[in-house]
């Protein structure tokens, strides 16, 4: 897995937006500029609304329910073929529990992209709607579902 090289707190102007930019060492590749074939580092940069202190993919349930709105926060870096074990109980729903473990990015991505991608996957359900706000995913119930309960929402 990657190692953090630098971590910078940036304050956007003129709006009071705080952004954390983290540069991560990912791998080394053979340089096309050196005849001796030496390796050069490959760095990736991630921009997040909270510090990227831990690189391990993690999903933290903030509001588990039962409630009409439930929330999850996504943290860490999500490598290709990461998985999320999701089990959400729908009260009064006709489709039963929502269960999913699919997540494929094609590359290592940060928590903001992961939250957006997972919200898009959940939005494919008829009686659920999900939005992402930075690293948070807010899932809400649509009629006939009256409440949701997050049983499992974890990286696998």
By three-state DSSP, how is residue 127 classified? coil
In whole angstroms, give the CA distance from residue 66 to residue 70: 8
List of residues 6+ apart from 33 with CB closer than 8 A: none
Annotation: CATH topology of 58-155: Immunoglobulin-like (2.60.40)
Q: How many CB atoms lie within 10 A of CB 81?
A: 9
Question: In the chain, which residues fall in CATH 2.60.40?
Answer: 58-155
> Structure pTM?
0.72
Contact 79, 108 (CB under 8 A): yes
pLDDT digits (tens), the chain, 156 positions: 455 555 666 565 665 667 777 887 777 888 888 888 888 888 888 777 777 767 788 888 999 989 999 999 988 888 776 778 888 898 887 777 888 766 666 677 888 888 888 899 888 888 889 999 888 999 998 888 889 999 988 887
Q: Is 106 left (phi over 0), alpha (psi -120 to 50) or beta?
A: left
What pLDDT is recorded for position 71? 94
């Amino acid at each position: 897995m990657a190692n953090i090289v630098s971590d910078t707190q940036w304050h956007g102007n003129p709006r009071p937006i705080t952004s954390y930019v983290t540069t991560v060492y990912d791998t080394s590749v053979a340089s096309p500029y050196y005849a001796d074939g030496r390796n050069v580092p490959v760095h990736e940069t991630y921009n997040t609304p909270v510090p990227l202190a831990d690189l391990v993919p993690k999903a933290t349930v903030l509001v588990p329910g039962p409630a009409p709105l439930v929330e999850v926060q996504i943290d860490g870096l999500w490598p290709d073929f990461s998985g999320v074990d999701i089990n959400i109980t729908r009260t009064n729903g006709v489709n039963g529990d929502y269960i999913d473990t699919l997540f494929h990015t094609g590359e290592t991505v940060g928590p903001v992209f992961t939250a957006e991608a997972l919200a898009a996957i959940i939005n494919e359900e008829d009686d659920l709607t999900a939005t992402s706000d930075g690293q948070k995913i807010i899932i809400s119930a649509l009629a006939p579902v009256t409440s949701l309960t997050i049983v499992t929402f974890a990286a696998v």
